Chains A and B, each alone.
Chain A
Amino acid sequence: MTAYRTHLLVCAGTGCVSCGAFELRRALETEIRRRRLDREVLVVATGCNGFCERGPIVLVQPDGIFYQRLKTSDVPRLVEEHLLKGRPVGTLMYVPPREREPVPRMKDIEFFKHQRLVVLRNRGRIDPEKIDEYIATDGYAAAAKALAEMTPEGIIAEIAASGLRGRGGAGFPTGRKWEAARRGQAGPRYVVCNGDEGDPGAFMDRSVLEADPHAVVEGLIIGARAVGASRGFLYIRNEYPLAVARVAKALEQARAYGLLGHDILGTGFDFDLEVVRGAGAFVSGEETALLASIEGRRAFPSQRPPYPAEKGLWGRPTVINNVETWANVPAIIRRGSAWFASLGTATSKGTKIFSLVGKIANTGLVEVPMGIPLREIIYDVGGGIPNGRAFKAVQIGGPSGGCVPAALLDLPVDYESLKAAGSMMGSGGMIVMDEDTCMVDIALYFLRFAGEESCGKCAPCRAGTAEMARVLARITAGQGTAEDLNRLEALAATVRHGSLCGLGQTAPNPVLTTLRYFRDEYEAHIFDKRCPALVCKALISFEIDPVKCVGCLLCKKACPVQAIAGELKEVHTIDPRACIKCGICLNVCPAKVRAVRKTTAPPSGPRDATAEGEGPR
């Protein structure tokens, strides 16, 4: 085997690939050959590095130098300067927001500094398509230990002692789930990996499957041994083609190495896995619905109990855990439950991966210890809000979660605290919102989502979410009444209590939390016909400041409905009757002119409580 002096680790996660990571890799390889460095320098494609905002990313090892937003045209200079002359290229490095000096080393970058990698320990380090690289970082050592040295009861006791709880949303203790399946009826049993990551704004499962598929496979082998399963399924979302391909490849390699199949590692244990592609239904992320989908049926949830651990796939005991939960298992077995339990809080152990997206400077995936204050995630890891805007809220936990306001920024992030705030851990999507995000519009967004994705089995969910969306749409259209707020709360209670599965039971959360923390915004829409964030089209208008307008024709040409009049070097005007409020004129107006502006009705004075109940007509 050749020893290389330098490795170039090119991030090949979905984000970087979309920005041209594969073209970059080819360009690097070509240039390295041209410079005759190909015996000294190796280019490796790794899984998602997490700092997706800065892609494509290349990490140079062993120097630890982090290059970002690389273009193929940067390659000759990078190779010549860094690899040939040993001079790292400052202009290709990361410069923190509001600073001027680049930060050369990855470990010094704020985004990475505060993270604690357990599940993502191999991200950006190994080639996920090579089982040897996984094995070289202690991969499959835990499976070997579990199969050769531990009893099934011992494995379950270790997982239970670690305090690991389900990372898919509800946070059920993993050890207890396994124990129930272990005690279930004799005969065939199954293990299932839930990779149907449907929460909009969450992509940690995709990233784990792409960056370290063997960690999930190893977790499943250990779980199968613990509960006595001989078959398992990885159900992966259809929208994630790269994850499906990488997992399929991982299974092939594991089989070739005797880590799956008959008599694994000579221990007499038989187990195999297959990939099942999802078909695009949000509800299939619910565990009973997912099992129905594996059986080839429509993804309708069913009544629990019986829980899948008692009666799951084809009526047999089935352990179903989320991708991130499975990926935690090898680390716990290898390093011990005491080590794992030392991370996190009293009731939430270990780490959690969050996807930090929306109005945040450092978009990407972060893994942090449970219990970390929200403020640290948003400001230290996330770098705060870009463009000088103010933080308004963070929506945690997808359509089942809720919006957490600025007042709660010091909230520790764990299962219990989030629940108390009306939100939930969910799968860990964090969508950051600034003052330009309208909370009523966000509530409407999630209720429309829930209404569209409701499978239709329970009328309160099917009709209730649709009705809630209609009420919200009315409010955003400026036609809401004071009574609508009560109506929303009543509908929320009906949907919550009358739905069978978690999707319906939690669907009202985005409305309830925004009503709880941002009631003033609802009231502004209803009573003042005003959208403070300038988002809701019915309540805003566009106008051109005659003093600032230079008459450049840009907005006039861009307007898709010819609503703008005016000649060259004359002040332009917008015809409000023709305007469709698409905002294109605002976007094309040059930054140094800024003549186009959005307006809404002015705020009224404080309302007294008696007037509020009736509402203006």
Chain B
Amino acid sequence: MRPSTSELEALTASSSGRPRALIQVLQDVQDRFRWLPPEALEHVAAALHVPLVQVYGVATFYRAFSLAPRGRHLCTVCLGTACHVRGGEAVLEHFERKLGIPAGATTPDGAFTLERVNCLGACALAPLAVVDGRTHSQMSEAKVEAVLAEAAKDGER
């Protein structure tokens, strides 16, 4: 999705000239477009009076930001310690096999982005995966296919 100038202006309106707001503004941009398009970064730099190099520095430092478009569905597999000892890696590997992409990548058709996270703080449910905001607890390889099918189906409606 490409941002329009008016949308970018709306997102930066209350932070104009306030370098301090950089991270919060980038989060709003990320929430809106699901990634940080280059033109948005340029707009934010100008609006907040922050050098573009610093905007890129922050955008690449924090994990919440993505400099590449994400897929229509976001699939996050938790690899916190509790998930690790209960077999989270095997679940992630099965997602990678089923989607045909490594963690951190997006399928060529733009449908799924697969990501890993270092703990979602819901360790009692380990291992867990979150697909489009929905938490799937006590995951196993056997559940992977159904979870992906459900997400794909929800997307069609």
A interface residue numbers (CB < 8 A to B): 14-15, 17-19, 52-53, 55, 197-203, 206, 237-240, 276-282, 293-299, 355, 357-359, 363-364, 395, 398, 429, 431, 433, 437, 442, 445-446, 449, 452-453, 455, 558, 560, 582-584, 587-588
List 19 additional A-B contacts (Cβ < 8 Å) besides A52-B123, A298-B62, A358-B81: A18-B135, A52-B125, A201-B80, A202-B119, A202-B121, A276-B24, A277-B27, A279-B27, A296-B21, A296-B23, A298-B58, A358-B86, A359-B86, A363-B82, A364-B124, A437-B85, A449-B118, A455-B61, A558-B142
Contact stretch, chosen from B67-75, B89-97, B146-154: B89-97
The answer to whether B121 touches A197, judged by C-beta atoms less than 8 angstroms apart, is yes
Q: A206 and B141 in contact (CB under 8 A), knowing A277-B27, A583-B90?
A: no
Hey, which bits of chain B sit against chain A, CB under 8 A? 19-24, 26-27, 50, 54, 57-58, 61-65, 79-82, 84-86, 90, 93-94, 97, 117-126, 128, 135, 137, 140-142
Contact residues in A for B140 (Cβ distance below 8 Å): 587
In the complex, chain A residues whose CB is within 8 Å of the CB of B121 = 14, 197, 202-203, 206, 237, 239-240
Bound form: Cα–Cα A587–B121 in Å = 26
Residues of chain A with a CB closer than 8 A to B19's CB: 296
Among A240, A398, A431: residue with most chain B CB under 10 A:
A431
A239 touches B120 (CB 8 A): yes
Which of B24, B81, B93, B141 contacts A201, CB < 8 Å?
B81
With A198-B118, A295-B20, A296-B21 as known contacts, state yes or no: A281 contacts B123, CB within 8 Å: no
- Minimum C-beta distance from A245 to chain B (A): 13
Which residues on A sit within 8 Å (CB–CB) of B26? 279
Residues of B within 8 A of A364 (CB): 124
The answer for the CA separation of A364 and B123 in the assembled complex, in Å, is 8
On whether A281 and B137 interact (CB within 8 A), knowing A201-B80, A358-B85, A587-B142, the answer reads no
B86, B90, B137: the one contacting A18 at CB < 8 Å is B137
Give the top 3 A-B pairs by smallest Cβ distance, nearest first.
Answer: A52-B124, A280-B63, A203-B121
Given A296-B23, A587-B141, the answer on whether A200 and B119 have CB atoms closer than 8 Å is: yes
**Contacts of A279 on B, CB cut-off 8 Å?**
23, 26-27, 62-65
Q: Is the CB of A357 within 8 A of B94?
A: no
Highest count of chain B CB atoms <10 Å: which of A201, A431, A587? A201
The reply to whether A431 and B23 contact each other, CB–CB distance below 8 Å, is no
Q: Is the CB of B82 within 8 A of A358?
A: yes
State A18–B93 Cα separation when bound (angstroms): 23
Closest Cβ neighbor of B61 among chain A residues = A298
A15's contact among B24, B90, B124, by CB below 8 Å, is which?
Answer: B124
Contact across chains for A296 and B81 when beta carbons are under 8 A apart: no
Are A560 and B97 in contact, CB atoms less than 8 angstroms apart? yes
Question: Closest residue to B81 on the A side, CB-wise?
Answer: A201
The complex places the Cα of A399 from the Cα of B80 at a distance, in Å, of: 11
Separation in Å of the B90 CB from the closest CB of chain A?
6
Q: How near does chain B come to A62, taking the closest CB pair, in angstroms?
A: 27
**Residue from B23, B58, B84 whose CB has the most chain A CB atoms within 10 Å:** B23
**B84→A445 contact, CB < 8 A:** yes
